[in-house]
């Protein structure tokens, strides 16, 4: 054993550079892997923990107070077997005005909130955690969610104004609560709370909310059955909307899931690239060691001791790399984990997960062990003479076909020689090209994703032809809005949008209806199959709806809107365009049906738009237009320009991914560096001979760099289709989560020159990796090398 240790220490001292390369690559690899695994472990739990801690509702139902009274509602738990219940609480969806503008009157930022009347945050179901301030005690007070407060920079003591009635009641924020329902405030609906007696004063069209909890965790099917029973037992149209916990869980975890899928893909990529690089490194060292292995055996090392020496020699730098890489990965995951838990106001979870750290360590060390043992055993079995002669055998003894081909290319000699030498050891070249491939694929993928997100956002905020989006408060009538718009000379097109819900046989959850008034086809909502509706009775729907209802384009179905039967002919499939939330939060929101307002009017004759998509004449100033509209009724009209939106969630994900792509590029560069280092060291004699024959240092540099270029081109060219493929697969998975089919334009985000540039990035990475070995090779001292024969 002593002999092994002496030998290992000596080798490490002598091969400091290679030990450093191993440690560096392992540092990057273990860091990335730890990051992925830590996120995986911590991100899947916060919602579930919060749900249990706050006794979240398995089923929440919103009722129309005109169709059902509190006594009837009190009997509903028994009807569906709920063991605990919260409510009936009065609720209303209404807009609020908030922000600094309030003080100077009008024109401030408006936001719709579902406000619920509750006397206490305590309840059997839907316990609210107060994270700041206190609960509401009487008139003029409101509690909002922490994420809403954070997003809009609202502090305790700030004022908000309800726009549900003409008096515009002023409310002071007295507390911040956290609620499992809320998901992330950037998307989805937000809640706020006032006292029960105050709620009806906020807006006239309020209703009741009930929260049910069951003694077991019901399945989707069971929840649907329960909701159906509820609808049967109550007057038609009493159930306005419902939300179940599975959906919410999906909503919350969905965003995570997307991020996690990406991270996992990256983790696997990183592991692959690292495995290739590490294996390459280790095999290279073993091969370079053949001569010494022969000498070791001649001196009396057993085959096992030979392998042991190699294993220890590799594992020491590996350990060193992990020692820094694992904590770095943990540190990097902290802000990510925090971001997720903060929106639920959970205590931040200590991100250090010993199991994950250990798992990473084991995975990395196993890869290194395998890469050492396989060639090591072969070397260990060699006879002493065999090993020595194998080491001294000219490299021509194992010529590769590809190498000879490349060497014969009609290129300047140094280029052709270098290109051929790169493939002199096909396994090594293959592994190196693989590392470059992974790097380029990641880069392709990391640049493709934001481009796709961008396209998706463009489509989702769609109405590309729309310049201004107008929203009216409930208190302000449609005719006045239309009159205001008609009075503006710039107005070219107005399409109104009214919301509703339709219930379809066999589907428990109501489907969101977008009913348009006006030339809706001109909004440019992408039709994926079939065509846009063209009149009363025709509808288009998202894929989620088609799947739930088992309908095909061309089928017709009878739906219930506000209890009234309406015959609907499905003429097309669309990409869900109205809910930005659906973008990142795969929810029932993507269960969407678009129709003409006349179709909705069959069931709800009084239905009126509350959103307006306005196109103004070319060359008009949208901002001036908005200011003028806003000035007519600052409290009840909210006009915004339909311009590019940024989705910060994607931006965040994107920056992380670019960092990871950079890490993978670095790993690839290290891989190339290592390969060329081994190649040039093995060929130092050849290089010396070439220099003796008159090759200039510059030509030697070119020769080595040419090898790098060939590896870079190979990896780059293969990495492009790999990256595009992974991108497509990911976006497809994302589409499935959304319940939408994505328009083809979301996939086609790559341009040929752009891809070429990325392939060149592969070459650039390889060139960076070749810089030092090439320089060292160029400086080869001929006399010295040839002297030491």
Partner 1 sequence: MTRLIELSDVRKLYDGGAKHPALNGVSLGVERGEFLAVMGPSGSGKSTLLNLVAGLDRPTSGRVLVNGRDLGRAGEAELARYRRSGVGFVFQFFNLLGSLSVLENVMVAAQLAGSGTAAARQRARELLAQLGITDQAARYPARLSGGQQQRVAIARALVNRPLMLLADEPTGALDSRSGEQVMELLVELNSSGQTVLLVTHDAKLAARYAGRVVSLVDGRVADDVVLQASTASPAEVVRVRVEEVAG
Residue 106 makes CB contacts below 8 A (sequence gap 6+) with 634, 635
- Number of residues near ligand ATP (by CB under 6 A): 3
DSSP letter for each residue of 71-99: HHHHHHHHHHT-SEEEEEEEEEEEEEEES
CB-nearer residue toward ligand ATP: 150 or 784: 784
Our CB check for partner 1 shows the closer of 670 and 688 to be: 688
Cβ 756 to ligand ATP, closest distance in Å? 47
Residue 748 CB-density burial (10 A; 0-12 exposed, 13-18 middle, 19+ buried): middle
Query: Can you say whether the dihedral through the CA atoms of 7, 8, 12, 15 is positive or negative?
Result: positive
Is residue 15 packed enough to be buried (19+ CB in 10 Å), middle (13-18) or exposed (0-12)? middle
Question: Nearest to ligand ATP by Cβ — which residue?
Answer: 784
In the complex, the smallest distance separating the C-beta of residue 783 from partner 1, rounded to whole angstroms, is 5
Site size for partner 1, by CB under 8 A?
A: 34
If the CB atoms of residues 399 and 531 are measured against partner 1, the closer one turns out to be: 399
Q: Does 395 bind partner 1 (CB under 8 A)?
A: yes
574 phi and psi angles, rounded to 5 deg = -120, 165
At closest approach, how far in Å is the CB of 785 from ligand ATP?
9
Give me the 686-715 binding string for partner 1, x by CB under 8 A, dash otherwise. x-xxxxxxxxxxxx----------------
Q: Residue 145: beta bridge partners?
A: 177
CA 86/CA 104 separation, integer angstroms? 40
**Torsions phi, psi for 511 (to 5 deg):** -100, 135
Half-sphere exposure of 637 (CA within 13 A, CB side): 23
Q: Least distance (Å) from partner 1 to the CB of residue 679?
A: 11
* Residue of the chain from 421, 467, 538, 594 that contacts partner 1 (CB under 8 A): 421
- In degrees rounded to 5, what are phi and psi of residue 541? -145, 165
Q: Which of residues 729-788 bind ligand ATP (CB under 6 A)?
A: 783-784, 787
Tell me which of ligand ATP, partner 1, none is bound by residue 413, counting a contact when its beta carbon lies within the kind-specific cut-off of 5 to 8 angstroms. Answer: partner 1
Is 399 among the residues that bind partner 1 (CB under 8 A)? yes
Contact 452, 731 (CB under 8 A): yes
**SS3 category, 120:** coil
Examine residue 789 and tell whether it contacts ligand ATP (CB under 6 A): no
> Applying CB under 8 A, which of residues 78, 138, 410, 753 lies at the interface with partner 1?
410
359 burial (CB, 10 Å; 0-12 / 13-18 / 19+) is middle
Nearer to ligand ATP among residue 62 and residue 689 (C-beta)? 689
Quick one: which segment of 63-71, 560-568, 711-719, 778-786 binds partner 1 (CB under 8 A)? Answer: 778-786
Q: How far is the CB of 688 from ligand ATP (least distance, A)?
A: 12
- The yes or no reply on residue 404 touching partner 1 (CB under 8 A) is yes
What are the φ and ψ backbone dihedral angles of 234, each rounded to 5 degrees? -100, 160
Residue placing its CB nearer to ligand ATP in the complex, 170 or 785 = 785
Closest distance of CB 330 from ligand ATP, Å = 50
Question: Minimum distance between the CB of residue 704 and partner 1, rounded to whole angstroms?
Answer: 15
Interatomic CA distance for residues 220 and 274, integer angstroms: 42
Nearer to partner 1, 244 or 687 (CB): 687
For residue 92, what are the β-bridge partners? 115
Dmax over CA atoms of the chain, in Å, equals 103
Compute CA 233 distance to the chain's CA centroid, rounded to the nearest angstrom.
Answer: 42
Check if the beta carbon of residue 137 is closer than 8 Å to that of residue 213.
no
> Is residue 643 close enough to count as binding ligand ATP by CB under 6 A?
no
Stretch that binds partner 1, among 144-152, 213-221, 405-413, 646-654 (CB under 8 A): 405-413
Q: Is 564 helix (H, G, I), strand (E, B) or coil?
A: strand
Cβ closest to partner 1, residue 303 vs residue 697: 697
Q: To the nearest 10°, report the CA torsion of 445, 446, 452, 454.
A: -170
Instruction: Sketch the per residue contact string, 335 through 374, with partner 1: x for CB under 8 A, - otherwise.
Output: ----------------------------------------
> How far apart are the C-alpha atoms of 520 and 531, rounded to whole Å?
12
Nearer of residues 394 and 618 to partner 1, judged by Cβ? 394
Query: In terms of Cα–Cα distance, which of 461, 284, 466 is closest to 375?
Result: 284
Q: In the complex with ligand ATP, which residue's Cβ is closer, 221 or 788?
A: 788
Residue number with CB closer to ligand ATP (316 or 782): 782
The residue (of 643 and 787) whose beta carbon lies closer to ligand ATP is: 787
Residue 366 CB coordination number (10 Å)? 11
* Minimum gap (Å) between residue 675 Cβ and partner 1: 16
Closest CA to 526 of 596, 471, 589, 455: 455
Name which of ligand ATP, partner 1, none residue 404 binds, using a CB cut-off of 5 to 8 Å depending on partner kind: partner 1
CA 458 to chain centre: 17
Residue among 420, 671, 712, 716 that touches partner 1 (CB under 8 A): 420
| Bridge partner residues of 130 (DSSP) | 177
Binding segment (CB under 8 A) for partner 1, from list 179-187, 402-410, 462-470, 527-535: 402-410
* DSSP category for residue 607: -
Q: Write the DSSP assignment of 442-503 as a string of letters.
A: HHHHHHHHHHHHHHHHHHHT--TT--EEEEE-TTS-HHHHHHHHHH-TTEEEEEEEEEEEEE
Least distance between ligand ATP and beta carbon 394 (Å): 22
425 SS3 class: coil
Stretch that binds partner 1, among 133-141, 259-267, 631-639, 780-788 (CB under 8 A): 780-788
Q: Is residue 786 near partner 1 by the rule CB under 8 A?
A: yes
Which one, 154 or 782, has the nearer CB to ligand ATP? Answer: 782
State the nearest-atom distance from the C-beta of 783 to ligand ATP, in Å. Answer: 6
Give the shortest CB-782-to-partner 1 separation in angstroms. 5
Q: 354 vs 694, which CB is nearer to partner 1? A: 694
Tell me the CB-side half-sphere exposure of residue 526, using CA atoms within 13 A: 20
Q: Which residue's CB is nearer to partner 1, number 92 or number 406?
A: 406
Closer residue to partner 1, CB minimum distance, 407 or 517: 407
How far is the C-alpha of 507 from the C-alpha of 568, rounded, in Å?
Answer: 15
Paired with 496 in beta bridges are: 517, 612
Please give the structure tokens belonging to residue 176: 């911040």
Residue 69 contact partner, candidates ligand ATP, partner 1, none, CB within 5 to 8 A by sort of partner: none
Rounded CA separation 14/24 (Å) = 17
Residues between 69 and 128 that touch partner 1 (CB under 8 A): none
Instruction: Mark 513-552 with x for binding to partner 1 (rule: CB under 8 A) and - for no binding.
Output: ----------------------------------------
Q: Which of 604, 636, 639 is nearest to 474 (CA)?
A: 636
The single residue among 424, 446, 583, 597 that binds partner 1, judged by CB under 8 A, is 424
- Which residues of the chain form contacts with ligand ATP (CB under 6 A)? 783-784, 787
- Which residues of the chain form contacts with partner 1 (CB under 8 A)? 393-397, 399, 403-404, 407, 410, 413, 417, 420-421, 424, 685-686, 688-699, 782-783, 786-787, 789
């Amino acid at each position: 054993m002593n002999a092994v240790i002496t030998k290992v220490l000596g080798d490490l001292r002598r091969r400091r550079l290679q030990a450093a390369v191993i440690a560096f690559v392992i540092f990057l690899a273990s860091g990335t892997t730890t990051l992925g695994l830590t996120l995986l472990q911590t991100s899947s739990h916060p919602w579930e923990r919060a749900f249990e801690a706050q006794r979240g509702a398995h089923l929440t139902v919103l009722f129309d107070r005109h169709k059902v009274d509190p006594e009837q509602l009190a009997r509903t738990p028994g009807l569906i077997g709920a063991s605990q219940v919260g409510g009936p609480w009065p609720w209303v969806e209404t807009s609020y005005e908030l922000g600094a503008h309030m003080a100077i009157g009008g024109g401030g930022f408006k936001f719709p909130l579902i406000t619920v009347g509750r006397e206490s945050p305590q309840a059997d179901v839907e316990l609210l955690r107060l994270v700041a301030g206190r609960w509401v005690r009487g008139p003029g007070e409101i509690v909002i969610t922490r994420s809403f407060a954070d997003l809009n920079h609202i502090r305790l003591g700030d004022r908000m104004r309800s726009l549900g009635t003409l008096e515009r009641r002023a409310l002071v924020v007295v507390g911040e609560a956290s609620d499992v329902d809320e998901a992330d405030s950037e998307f989805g609906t937000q809640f706020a709370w006032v006292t029960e007696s105050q709620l009806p004063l906020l807006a006239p069209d309020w209703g009741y909310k009930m929260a049910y909890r069951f003694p077991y965790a019901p399945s989707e099917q069971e929840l649907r059955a329960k909701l159906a029973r509820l609808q049967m037992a109550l007057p038609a149209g009493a159930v306005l909307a419902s939300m179940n916990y599975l959906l919410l869980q999906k909503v919350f975890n969905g965003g995570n899931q997307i991020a996690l899928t990406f991270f996992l893909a990256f983790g696997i990529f990183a592991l692959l690239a690292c495995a290739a690089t590490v294996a390459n490194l280790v095999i290279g060292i073993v091969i370079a060691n053949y001569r010494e292995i022969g000498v070791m055996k001649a001196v009396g090392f057993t085959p096992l001791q030979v392998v042991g020496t190699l294993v220890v020699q590799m594992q020491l730098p590996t350990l060193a790399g992990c020692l820094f890489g694992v904590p770095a990965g943990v540190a990097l995951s902290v802000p990510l984990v925090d971001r997720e838990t903060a929106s639920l106001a959970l205590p931040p979870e200590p991100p250090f997960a010993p199991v994950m750290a250990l798992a990473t360590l084991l995975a990395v060390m196993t890869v290194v062990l395998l890469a050492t043992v396989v060639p090591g055993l072969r070397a260990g079995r060699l006879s002493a003479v065999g090993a020595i002669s194998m080491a001294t055998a000219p490299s021509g003894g194992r010529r590769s076909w590809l190498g000879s081909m490349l060497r014969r290319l009609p290129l300047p000699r140094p280029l052709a020689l270098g290109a051929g030498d790169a493939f002199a050891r096909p396994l090594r070249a293959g592994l190196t090209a693989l590392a470059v491939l992974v790097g380029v694929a990641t880069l392709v993928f990391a640049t493709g994703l934001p481009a796709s997100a961008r396209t998706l956002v463009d489509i989702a905020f769609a109405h590309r032809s729309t310049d201004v989006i107008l929203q009216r408060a409930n208190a302000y009538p449609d005719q006045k809005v239309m009159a205001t718009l008609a009075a503006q000379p710039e107005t070219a097109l107005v399409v109104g949008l009214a919301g509703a819900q339709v219930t379809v046989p066999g589907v428990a959850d109501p489907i969101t209806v977008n009913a348009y008034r006006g030339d809706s086809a001109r909004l440019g909502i992408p039709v994926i199959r079939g065509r846009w509706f063209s009149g009363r009775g025709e509808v288009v729907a998202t894929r989620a709806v088609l799947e739930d209802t088992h309908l095909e384009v061309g089928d017709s179905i009878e739906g219930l809107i506000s209890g009234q039967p309406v015959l609907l002919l499905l003429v097309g499939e669309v990409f869900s365009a109205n809910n930005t939330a659906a973008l990142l939060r795969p929810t029932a929101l993507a269960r969407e049906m678009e129709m003409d307002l006349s179709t909705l009017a069959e069931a709800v004759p009084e239905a009126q738009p509350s959103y307006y998509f306005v196109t103004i004449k070319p060359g008009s100033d949208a901002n001036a237009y908005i200011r003028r509209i806003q000035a007519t009724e600052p409290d009840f009209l909210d006009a915004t320009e339909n311009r590019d939106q940024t989705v910060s969630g994607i931006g965040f994900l994107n920056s992380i991914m670019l960092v990871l792509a950079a890490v993978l590029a670095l790993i690839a560069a290290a891989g190339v560096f290592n390969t060329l280092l081994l190649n040039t060291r093995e060929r130092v004699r050849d290089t010396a001979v070439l220099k003796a024959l008159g090759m200039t240092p510059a030509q030697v540099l070119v020769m080595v760099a040419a090898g790098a270029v060939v590896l870079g081109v190979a990896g780059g060219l293969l990495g492009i289709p790999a990256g595009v493929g992974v991108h497509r697969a990911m976006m497809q998975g994302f589409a499935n989560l959304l319940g939408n089919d994505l328009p083809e334009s979301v996939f086609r985000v790559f341009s040929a020159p752009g891809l070429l540039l990325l392939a060149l990035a592969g070459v650039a990475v390889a060139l960076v990796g070749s810089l030092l070995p090439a320089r060292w090779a160029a400086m080869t001292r001929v006399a010295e090398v040839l002297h030491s024969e």
